[in-house]
Amino acid sequence: MTPPSFSKKHLTYDEQIDLLQSRGLLISDRKYAKTKLEHISYYRLSAYYLPFQKEKDLFVKGTRFEDVLELYYFDKELRKMIFNAIETVEVNVRANVVYNFSKETDAFGYMDKCQFNLDDVTYASLIYSIQKETSRSKELFVKHFKDKYKSNVLPIWMMVELISFGTLSRLFSALKPNHETMTKKVGVPPAVFKNWLHTINHIRNICAHHSRLWNRQFVIKAKVPKKIKSFQGIRNDRVFVIILILNYFFHRVETGADLIEKVDRLLEKYPNVDIKQMGFPDDWKERLL
């Protein structure tokens, strides 16, 4: 494969600092800036330059290197907070699928296509993903099961713990209505909750890859339930809607988790962050409550 024609050359850390200074960024401590560029990289930080630039490659007068770093560290803490919250949802959904599906069918009911709203090809694709992901497991409980029962088909309570959240979302979205007890508990239409899982999985991947989150416009947009007041009038492609979905889930399913205090503390720690770019409305606290 032939690489594309590309004119940009490698820059040393000192040259990177010179470049930033030539573009108007104030750097009072070159040694400190060099250390941060070594640890984070110029390219990763470049996503956080843009809010401080009204013109391409030209920083707003007075912008400091520390201002860029503050935004970077805010985004880092935001990702950790969201990722941890998603874990609570993920574990809860796994537990719900295992309990209700095995109750209605049996340990291997997921191998029966009749339990899903899927055509033959899509069902085969789902089972292929499940078997591919479970076969990679090195867990001792998997080895013990395979040695004892001479089978690569795992019972659902094992299988659900091993598949990715993306495959779990596909599995849940394909369930027939009699298996969808969680959507009733959450109190939103099945189509909305299935979209939420898909959207949350997308955000989870962004967090897991340490990508920019705070002002990102999401390609996969969350469905907004029409009858829930707190969701009305907000953007469905910014991070606040994810926070609202997670917090709403926590309260409906009674997980004991609460995001409002964590969000409040994070914004107090970083008061210079523009929350409007995150889709926060003026009454965001009331909506989370």
Instruction: Please state the rounded mean pLDDT for residues 185-199.
Output: 92
State the pLDDT at residue 289: 84
| Buried/exposed code over 189-209 (b: 16+ C-beta within 10 A; e: otherwise) | ebebbbbbbbbbbbbbebbee
With H, G, I as helix, E, B as strand and everything else as coil, classify residue 226: coil
pLDDT reading at 178 higher than 80 = no
pLDDT reading at 89 higher than 80 = yes
Cα–Cα distance for residue pair 31/46, rounded to 1 Å: 19
With H, G, I as helix, E, B as strand and everything else as coil, classify residue 116: strand
pLDDT tier at 3 (50, 70, 90 boundaries)? low
Distance of CA 85 to the CA centre of its chain: 10
Percent of the chain with pLDDT over 70: 97
Cα–Cα distance for residue pair 233/63, rounded to 1 Å: 33
Instruction: Please state the rounded mean pLDDT for residues 102-129.
Output: 93
State the pLDDT at residue 9: 85
DSSP-derived letter for residue 53 is: E
Per DSSP (E only), the strands in 56-200 are: 58-59
Q: What is the mean pLDDT of the chain?
A: 93
Question: Which stretch, 174-178, 215-219, 255-259, has highest mean pLDDT?
Answer: 215-219
Label residue 152 exposed, middle or buried (CB < 10 Å: 0-12, 13-18, 19+). exposed
Count the neighbouring beta carbons within 10 Å of the beta carbon of residue 66. 15
The strand pairing partners of 26, in sequence order, are: 64
pLDDT tier at 5 (50, 70, 90 boundaries)? low
pLDDT tier at 183 (50, 70, 90 boundaries)? confident
Cα-Cα-Cα-Cα torsion 264, 245, 85, 220, nearest 10 degrees, comes to -110
For 203-213, the pLDDT digits (tens) are 999 999 999 99
Distance of CA 209 to the CA centre of its chain: 9
Range with lowest mean pLDDT among 71-75, 114-118, 239-243? 114-118
| Buried/exposed code over 158-174 (b: 16+ C-beta within 10 A; e: otherwise) | bbbbbbebbbbbbbbbb
Longest dimension (CA), the chain: 70
pLDDT tier at 243 (50, 70, 90 boundaries)? very high
Cα–Cα distance for residue pair 11/288, rounded to 1 Å: 46
State the pLDDT at residue 258: 79
Cα–Cα distance for residue pair 200/191, rounded to 1 Å: 14
pLDDT reading at 185 higher than 90 = no
Distance of CA 190 to the CA centre of its chain: 20
pLDDT tier at 180 (50, 70, 90 boundaries)? low
| All residues at 6 or more sequence positions from 85 whose CB lies less than 8 Å from its CB, including other chains | 243, 246, 250, 257, 259
Residue identified by tokens 């990102």 is 216
Q: Are 258 and 250 in contact (CB under 8 A)?
A: yes
For 123-172, the pLDDT digits (tens) are 999 999 999 999 999 999 999 999 999 999 999 999 999 999 999 999 99
Instruction: Please state the rounded mean pLDDT for residues 81-110.
Output: 92
Instruction: Please state the rounded mean pLDDT for residues 104-125.
Output: 92
Instruction: Please state the rounded mean pLDDT for residues 56-77.
Output: 97
State the pLDDT at residue 103: 86
State the pLDDT at residue 168: 95
The strand pairing partners of 55, in sequence order, are: 58
